[in-house]
Amino acid sequence: MHRERFYTLAGSCPDRVGIIARVSGFIAEHKGWILESSYHADDPESGASRYFMRIEVKAASLPFDIDEFRNRFLPVATELEMNWKLSDSAKKKRVVILVSKQEHCLYDLLARWQSKELDIEIPCVISNHDALRGFVEWHGIPFHHVPIGNDNKVAAFAEVMRLFDEAHGDTMVLARFMQILTPEVCATYPWRIINIHHSFLPSFVGAKPYHQAYQRGVKLIGATCHYVTADLDQGPIIEQDVIRIDHSDSVEDMVRYGKDIEKAVLARGLRYHLEDRVLTHGNKTVVFR
């Protein structure tokens, strides 16, 4: 990753001749210096093909700022019928972490944040338990305890949304947050909520997937980082990984192995998302690594 400031243009549009020429030509017209570019055209079994792209442009090479970039590119995007976004590497993304009692994913994210491996801002951590308050506040991060029960789910998640908006969050990360979000939360922040599920989806959705895997006698277990939708564990997949097990491994062994996979998969998936490397189309993703 280059350290100089750059703008990232990411988007998709109906496939047609001349897309690359039109977009790169626009950048060249303004003396823009392309640092990195990635492209992909899907080939659906039915329906129109769609084209995906991600381009990094050296900010100092352009004669205008990111707002002017947006204004000038808008006619091009309209012409191409493009869904697109433009981001600035100089602006750190604000990540709000939700967690319950299991701490391993939270520990890993805070370690990566503290070492600048994840160059983000964490304005707060929200939990339905108070157990991790001391650890979070030791890092100088505000901690919010929002109890969630069967009798207060709507009000509790309204408070979670209020805290997220108050923190000006860009992305909400469920770091083993063992609660099902309400449909309102999912609808309010589409493609902005990331979850780590402790199985290789679509296998073993829902609760206790390691127990399900043990009962099924599988030889591989895994973890899946995905976007959250109203359908439980069915959102577009961002990243996955697996580890091999055998007949001698207990459920406890599988849980222990799985924690290492969960941490790595969540960190990679979050990084891809924050760097605008993930483009969604229906319930699938294109990930430019």
The residues assigned a catalytic role are: 233
Task: Return d(Cα 32, Cα 30) in angstroms, integer.
Answer: 5
Tokens of 269: 């998936």
Task: Return d(Cα 225, Cα 268) in angstroms, integer.
Answer: 9
Q: Pairing between strand 95-99 and 50-58?
A: unpaired
Sheet holding 6-14, edge to edge: 34-41, 50-58, 6-14, 83-88
